[in-house]
Amino acid sequence: MNYKTLDTSKIYLITGAAGFIGYFLSRKLLEKGCRVIGIDNVNDYYDVNLKHTRLGYLESYEKFTFIRGDISDKDIVMKIFEEYKPNVVVNLAAQAGVRYSIENPDVYIQSNIIGFYNILEACRYNPVDHLVYASSSSVYGANKKVPFEETDFVDNPVSLYASTKKSNELMAHTYSHLYKIPATGLRFFTVYGPMGRPDMAYFGFANKYFAGEPIKIFNNGDFENDLYRDFTYIDDIVEGIERLLSNPPKGEVQHKVFNIGNNSPEKLMVFIETLEKALSKALDKEVQFEKIFEPIKPGDVPATYASTDQLQKAVGFKPETSIEKGLQKFADWYVDYYKVK
């Protein structure tokens, strides 16, 4: 093992702590005995109850402090850094979603650009051991060469969401260079799991099924040329982040970007069939979605496929949870949480 394991004596500031990934990361660090400061504006982009449920779990840990605040408010961000003096910052707060950015561009600039700039400024004046921040597989745009490698050309984003994430990488690089902030950007590949995001397809499909409605699949109904996605189970994402936390980039360039993806893309239709099977098992009855096929949506990309060589080299880990296992965990949680039959 040539990487450092988690330092539980440090203070971790996690933005977006009420969110899907932020919640699971916070919980893992708290379970290991770390002090975690969580910040989130608890916005209503999706069901706020789910965010409150996650926060409820986190607040049962003595070493967790929650601050409801917006990272696009510079005064709040500065105050938090001055008061809590975090050693490690994980910026996960952002407006997520590719399709939503077509209709609602303002909030992407506000949270993802201004918000991230404030985090960088705060790190500039309050030095940290490591700034880790969420980028996205969407920076690869419609790249054809697979698997996607961190060194690939990513200057052709096809959504504003992707542009903000690519901008974050550039901004982090500059701040890291100018102010010696050790920084790591993480390109997550379609993350799923229990307590996940209701705006994502797999969650929406379950919602539609229980509402007795058909699901819409944006792949032209063309199964030969189906969309491919590298679906990554939440525990794998959290494991990857945790392993990187105590291993900031060293040397001349203190900024590095990693893919965290499953390195094993699945056809969208296979993913949907696996979800049907998982729900069937959870409910002990046959589940089949009524399906409507529609054209691919603007901003959607045909395939995502992560190379995980860099991650493996750095921290000896690559995501490996199968969609059968991961979707079963989601289906079991969904059936229990929403008490559906």
Ligand X SMILES: NC(=O)c1ccc[n+]([C@@H]2O[C@H](COP(=O)([O-])OP(=O)(O)OC[C@H]3O[C@@H](n4cnc5c(N)ncnc54)[C@H](O)[C@@H]3O)[C@@H](O)[C@H]2O)c1
**What are the tokens at 44?**
């209503």
- Angle, helix 115-125 to helix 160-179, in steps of 10 degrees: 10
CB 169 within 8 A of CB 221: no
* Contact residue for ligand X among 6, 13, 20, 38 (CB under 6 A): 20
**Could you give the angle at the alpha carbon of 326 between the alpha carbons of 325 and 331, nearest 5°?**
100
* Contact residue for ligand X among 41, 101, 262, 307 (CB under 6 A): 41
* Contact residue for ligand X among 51, 243, 255, 318 (CB under 6 A): 51
Question: Is 92 a residue that touches ligand X (CB under 6 A)?
Answer: yes
**What are the tokens at 22?**
């932020």
Question: How many positions of this chain bind ligand X (CB under 6 A)?
Answer: 28
Task: Tell me how far apart the alpha carbons of residues 72 and 339 are, in angstroms, rounded to a whole number.
Answer: 37
**What are the tokens at 275?**
């979800």
Q: What's the min distance (Å) between Cβ of 7 and ligand X?
A: 23
Task: Tell me how far apart the alpha carbons of residues 244 and 3 are, in angstroms, rounded to a whole number.
Answer: 8
Question: Is 40 a residue that touches ligand X (CB under 6 A)?
Answer: yes
Element (H, E) at 234: helix 234-245
Question: Is 136 a residue that touches ligand X (CB under 6 A)?
Answer: yes
Beta carbon nearer to ligand X, 48 or 292: 48
Beta carbon nearer to ligand X, 42 or 340: 42
Q: Sign of the CA dihedral 196, 92, 323, 101?
A: positive
Task: Tell me how far apart the alpha carbons of residues 167 and 69 are, in angstroms, rounded to a whole number.
Answer: 23
Taking CB under 6 A as the binding criterion, the range among 15-23, 172-180, 268-276, 284-292 that sits at the site for ligand X is 15-23
Q: What residues from 97 to 116 belong to the interface with ligand X (CB under 6 A)?
A: 111, 115
Task: Tell me how far apart the alpha carbons of residues 237 and 326 are, in angstroms, rounded to a whole number.
Answer: 12
Taking CB under 6 A as the binding criterion, the range among 92-100, 121-129, 205-213, 278-286 that sits at the site for ligand X is 92-100
Q: What residues from 195 to 214 belong to the interface with ligand X (CB under 6 A)?
A: 197
Beta strands 183-188; 255-260: pairing state: parallel
Q: What's the min distance (Å) between Cβ of 60 and ligand X?
A: 18
Indicate the residue whose CB is closest to ligand X.
Answer: 19
Question: Is 43 a residue that touches ligand X (CB under 6 A)?
Answer: yes
Q: Does residue 161 have an active-site annotation?
A: yes
Using CB under 6 A as the criterion, which residues of the chain lie in contact with ligand X when the complex forms? 15-16, 18-22, 40-43, 51, 70-72, 92-96, 111, 115, 134, 136, 188, 190-191, 197
The catalytic site residues sit at 161
